[in-house]
Homo-oligomer: A and B are copies of this chain.
Amino acid sequence: MMRKLLFLIFVLVFSILKAENPSIFLTPTAVKEIQKSLGKYPAFDKSYAELKSIADKAILSEIIVPIPKDGGGGYTHEKHKNNYYEMNACGILFQISGNKKYAQFVESMLLKYADLYPTLGLHPEKKSEAQGKLFWQTLNDAVWLFHTANAYDCVYNFLTLEKKQVIENKLFKPMAEFLSNGNEANYSTFNRMHNHGTWSQAAVGMIGYAMHDKELTDKALYGSKKDGKTGFISQLNVLFSPDGYFTEGPYYQRYSLWPFIVFAQIIVNHQPELKIFNYRDGILLKAVNTMLQLAYNGELFYLNDALEKTYKTQELVYAVNIAYKNNPAEKQLLDIAKQQNAFVVSGEGLFTAKAVSKAKTNPFEYKSMLLRDGANGNEGGVAVFRAGKGKAHSCLTFKATSHGLSHGHYDKLSIAMFDNGNEILTDYGAARFLNIEPKSGGGYTKENYSWAMQTIAHNTVTVDQKSNFNGNIKESSKFHSDIQYCDFSKPDFQIVCGTEENAYAGVRMIRTTAMIQIPDFEFPIIADIYKLNSDTAHTYDFPYYYIGQFVSADFKYQKNITELKTLGSKNGYQHLWLEANAKTTKAYARFTWVNANRFYSITALTNANTELLLTRLGASDPNFNLRNETAFMLRQPNASNHTFATIIEPHGLYDLSKEITNGYQSNVDKLDLVQDNNDFTAIKLSARNGKTYLIVVVNKDFNIKMERKLNINNQTISFDGNYYFKQL
């Protein structure tokens, strides 16, 4: 507390705004450097050429600044978006090329906006409480200003004082006022601990720096009351966990990092004494690295509301370029920059492009890691397992976090799996068609709530066909799961245990998942033990959403071939077609599918009550909004205590090009539950080559030093810690 106060005083005393323009994305030094460097770094040249082609197309087009009317994806929405991209491009082009036609374009367009803006009320379409003027939500207005501030900054010295006054007084000042204080919703957003707040602060701060308006920049940094309790810097304390994890998940981490990282660089340009990139042990740079780790094969994980996002998005180009400039020791960022093959046309972009062209880049090092959730790191976390190297390595995510604000899903103790370059067990992510107007205006479709957020949409257990916390976000937000332990120290046996005590009244859930690399199996396998404890009887549904084509099952199933019905009527079940169901007389069920050139088998313990369901998504979907994904679901009806135990195993080769097939059968010969009580769960895994392995996990008193003793088949097994893994 004392430290923060001292910091604040320091800041207030030494904050002197520099008077140079440009100083937002570009600086005079950067401009000179770029002018000298063009033609030397092909990938940087390409990025410049792209910007130039936007600018060149813009200056030949009629300037249209339409009266705001449409929602996301609609004409006026996309036009205003396009306008800021054009102004941004022309601003930069003016600086680099010195050609005044670009500056004139920005001037003309800004004057049109200055005419329009004072006439605007709130946007006719309402997306959220914080309703915008140019767009349907304030968020988009902020993004507009974020880009336009740079354009203005670039042409600042070109404009006459009179023009500047018109533009500032009619457009930028009212807009900054609207965003930060226009109404209750906007004030609250501007002062809120949320990525929308970050965008507002960055936009207001950037135009503040461009206009040399210290009042605005102080508000952006320290909140409307300038007391540091809200504002950009306070967000750095709260929005990321100590491990740099953003509670909404990687998709929103990516989006919120954009204003964070860009605005931070601009603060460096204007107030270097703030040492913003060192703040909170360098939390921003850590957050960039964490985000890059939350990906497989260059695609961000689908945790919570998430759409497909790759490393190549522009916001990650900003993040990587700026992070590298501010920490050039982090050479592995150059690997990502190389993959991106695009650079920000700025000093940071050029700096990174030069480094890429010189350095022999080492691959970005993906590591197994636990990323704790919560501002203090004590609200569970996401564990990421990795094995192997390169694009095709094996990876598993294990999510035991807090709810994740409004974009969170009811997916306590859920996993997703990647292997061989592909998604194998999928998290649905979000049901949304971003910017496609006929699809719910480009926003989240109602299936996002009725399906994607529901527990049954995830690779975890649903109790009594109800979602965690009965789908009540207020309740869910009060609690978080816990990661009890996490040991990635042994490459042959990596393990994580998560528990959830609150999602279902009276049901304790313990999931212990291990990634095992032993020579008996060609690829890393997953041992997945999911224990449910309750005093009363429940139905436990446990789906695995597999991607690929069904190959075989070792149980006889009844497939519904002339008529399909839904599995249930609510909580997500209404969206599942029941394709087939089965029971088995064996002690385990085997299910095999093929994905790309590899086979995958799930071997799951079963008993006489276990029902096996094969489902396909797509029911109760009147507007064709859902993807038609498939699940192998274990259902344990009328059970109080129950333990699911499965092995998930990649195996064999299916090479359609060379017409070679090997090992389409699982190498798991048997799976036995040899002990299961309140203290321990022990399973025995028998490989087809005759070797057997014992896996013991503890179910309570988690402690990495505690001595444990148990009896299995009259043999005493003792170990220290939380688990035991040994060949028998």
Contacts and interface: CB of A to CB of B under 8 A. Distances in A.
Contact of A559 (B566, B592, B622): B622
Contacts of A549: 433, 624, 627
11 contacts: A78-B660, A81-B660, A307-B656, A313-B658, A434-B656, A435-B660, A438-B552, A442-B661, A559-B621, A559-B624, A563-B564
Contact of A314 (B435, B574, B628, B658): B658
Contacts of A436: 551, 594, 654, 661, 664
Most buried by B among A559, A563, A564: A564
Nearest to A564: B564
A438 B623 CA distance: 36
Given A559-B621, A561-B619, A562-B620, 5 more contacts: A78-B662, A81-B660, A308-B656, A434-B661, A549-B627
Interface residues of A, number: 55
Given A628-B628, A664-B73, A561 B657 contact: no
Most buried by B among A549, A559, A659: A659
Contact of A657 (B309, B438, B566, B660): B309
A144 to B, nearest CB: 13
B551 A439 contact: yes
A128 B324 CA distance: 64
Given A437-B664, A658-B314, A562 B565 contact: yes
Contacts of A619: 561-562, 564
A577 interface: yes
A392 to B, nearest CB: 17
Most buried by B among A437, A549, A624: A624
Most buried by B among A308, A561, A619: A561
A310 interface: yes
A325 interface: no
Interface string A583-613: 0000000001010000000000000000000
A562 B575 CA distance: 9
A385 B656 CA distance: 28
Interface of A: 73, 78, 81-82, 307-310, 312-314, 433-439, 442, 549-552, 559, 561-566, 574, 577, 579, 592, 594, 614, 616, 618-624, 627-628, 654, 656-662, 664
A618 B549 CA distance: 12
- Identical copies in the complex: 2
Contacts of A439: 551-552
Contacts of A435: 654, 659-661
A438 B664 contact: yes
Contacts of A78: 660-662
Contacts of A550: 623-624
Given A308-B656, A438-B551, A656-B307, A73 B564 contact: no
Contacts of A577: 564
A621 B562 CA distance: 9
A527 B138 CA distance: 44
A439 B654 CA distance: 13
A307 B552 CA distance: 20
Contact of A659 (B434, B574, B622, B627): B434
Contacts of A661: 73, 78, 434-437, 442
Contacts of A621: 559, 561
Given A81-B660, A310-B657, A562 B551 contact: no
A664 B442 CA distance: 11
A594 B437 CA distance: 12
Nearest to A558: B622
A3 B725 CA distance: 78
Contacts of A442: 661
Nearest to A550: B624
Contacts of A434: 656, 659, 661
A667 to B, nearest CB: 14
A124 to B, nearest CB: 20
Given A78-B661, A309-B657, A657-B313, A563 B561 contact: no
A191 to B, nearest CB: 26
A505 to B, nearest CB: 30
Contacts of A565: 562-563
B561 A622 contact: yes
Contacts of A314: 657-658
A624 B591 CA distance: 13
Given A78-B661, A436-B594, A662-B78, A562 B566 contact: yes
A308 B312 CA distance: 29
A437 B652 CA distance: 13
A568 to B, nearest CB: 11
A592 B73 CA distance: 15
Nearest to A561: B620
Contacts of A562: 565-566, 574, 619-620
A618 B559 CA distance: 11
Nearest to A662: B78
B620 A657 contact: no
Contacts of A82: 660
A136 to B, nearest CB: 14
Contacts of A657: 309-310, 312-314
Contacts of A622: 559, 561
A82 B662 CA distance: 10
Contacts of A592: 438
